Amino acid sequence: MALSKVEQLKAERNPLRIIDDIYEEARGGKKIDEEHIGLLKWYGMYPHVKDDEKHFFMKRIKFNDNGLNLEQLKVMADITNKFCKGYSDFTTRQNIQLHYVQIKDLPEMFDLLESVNLTSYMASGDGPRPMVGCPISGIAEDDLYDVTPIFWEIDNYFKEHEDEYCNFPRKYKIGLSGCTKHCMGHEIQDVGFTAFKSEDGEVLFDLTIGGGLSKTRRVASRAKRYLRADQIKEVAIKCADIFRDMGNRENRNKARIRDMVANMGIEAYVEELEKRLGYSLDHGEKEPEITPYQKREHFGIHKASTKGESYIGVATRRGRVWGEDLEKIYQLLKKYDAKGIRLTTTQNFVVYGVKDEVAQSLADELTNIGFPYKPTIFEAKIQSCTGIEFCKFAVTETKDFADVMVDSLNTKFPELDENLSIAVSGCPNGCSHPHIADIGLIGTKVKDDEGNRVEGYQFWFGGHLEGEHKSRFSEKTKIKVPSNKVDEKIEEIINDYLSKKADFNNFSSYIQAQV
């Protein structure tokens, strides 16, 4: 077997040992070898695209239970403001990405993170990525099952056996949720565990395998197996073993679990899984009822499962939450004696541990600093990737573009009451999930009215998630417009929908009919 270049590099040295090189350079010693820069991903780091000297990096911070308590929130604000020029982005995998990070500052950053039980260890790289789940697990009254302890059990196992699990063919993404709204998005996870209540009232988990987005997107296949909660950890580990041992190490473009399932078939994959488990899992032909993608949200003030407490879901509207914003959020939560925040897979967040009597006041103050608990549809349902500002693949600016577009659409449609999702991506990889949004905007170069090549976007229509058979990815249209014309085009699309609304159940059905 001819190993790819990345595989050859990993075979020479345990990728996690790049931490030794980090400390060596930080102390003023030898700089990290050019060929080893890519190994920084194992600690969540990527070189900035416009930095020829590879002096600055993006750094991803990992949250095992998707959130931060007050102490952790304060440390994240301090790190962002001291070392990262205030740049902080909430991601679709419930992490925080920092920018302008320098090697020399990493020892102090590591110490600060460790002081509050945070880390960037295995936040990226070819291994188990941070798991995603519901932000209100163990918090909401209607939560089916608190999966938070299982998150920690799985993560601790991989950490304790790091040498066995730090070198997969590619990334390994787990989704685990007890949420009644299925906000985790099991359809696009490598391995998904989705809670449901059986006919006899028992909470079980439906197992799905092989989902993913980017250029080789695939809806996860149901394994047609139901799991008990106490089986999840072992199944997650055995799926990791299969991937490590049998995954494609020759071609990184075909090296994800979804490629394995597509090649060998879901039945053969499950057969291999049960062989490694040493027992058969319970069969489950029927797929649980799944919430449509457009209704997967937790905005507003809600009663928590703990008596006398509420939680508040708020919007960031494009994912960028500056260091000064983190500090403001921390100060507000401290003022009202709230417990912390949990991040969502839509770049928003939930404040938990809020006393009922102050929930409204806290929600109002969060709105006043730019995080509305009653967001407009455009504030609630827009996501954006890092864009050309920091990403080597992007060809368009995304964050400020998305912000301006939200303001424009809010002004034009202040009363629009519709579940409409928009995702802005600077490149086809689609980190902001344009392939599952009603309207996906993917960066490209177009000609303006004067014939100049400028930043623009191609429209993709009709993405949707709703289980194995009702999910669909958006389709590329012929619509390409300069960035400054995008909001006008969306206005045209919405007005056309409103004029034909009687013919459609909702905007989602309308936009799917356009392709």
In degrees and rounded to multiples of 5, residue 31 shows phi and psi of: -75, 150
Token pair 């993170």: residue: 113
How is domain 5-115 classified at the CATH fold level? Sulfite Reductase Hemoprotein; domain 2 (3.90.480)
* Structure token digits, residue 93: 């995998």
CATH of domain 298-375: 3.90.480.10
Cα gap 328→9, rounded to integer Å? 43
CA distance 170 to 234: 20
Residue 50's pLDDT is 62
Q: Which residues of the chain have pLDDT under 50?
A: none
- 380-512: CATH homologous superfamily? Sulfite Reductase Hemoprotein, domain 1 (3.30.413.10)
- What architecture (CATH level 2) is domain 148-283? 2-Layer Sandwich (3.30)
List the domain boundaries for the chain: 5-115, 148-283, 298-375, 380-512
Residue 448: the pLDDT is 87
Per the CB < 8 A criterion, the answer to whether 398 and 362 are in contact is no
8 Å CB contact between 158 and 239: no
CA dihedral 132→92→250→48, nearest 10 degrees, is: -130
Strands, DSSP E only, in 340-421? 340-343, 349-355, 382-384
User: CA-to-CA distance for 495 and 110, rounded, in angstroms?
Assistant: 51
Contacts of 213 (CB under 8 A, 6+ apart): 188, 430, 433, 435, 436
Q: Answer whether 5-115 and 380-512 agree in fold.
A: no
Grouping H, G, I as helix, E, B as strand and the rest as coil, residue 390 is coil
Global pTM exceeds 0.85: yes
Instruction: Give the neighbor-by-neighbor strand order of the sheet with 203-209.
Output: 174-177, 191-197, 203-209, 221-227, 282-283
Q: Both tokens of residue 236? A: 């997650």
Task: Pull the structure tokens for residue 117.
Answer: 């039980």
- Note the pLDDT tens digit of each residue in 387-411: 999 988 899 999 999 999 999 999 9
**pLDDT at residue number 512:** 96
Residue 3, Cβ neighbours under 10 Å: how many? 12
Rounded CA separation 70/329 (Å): 10
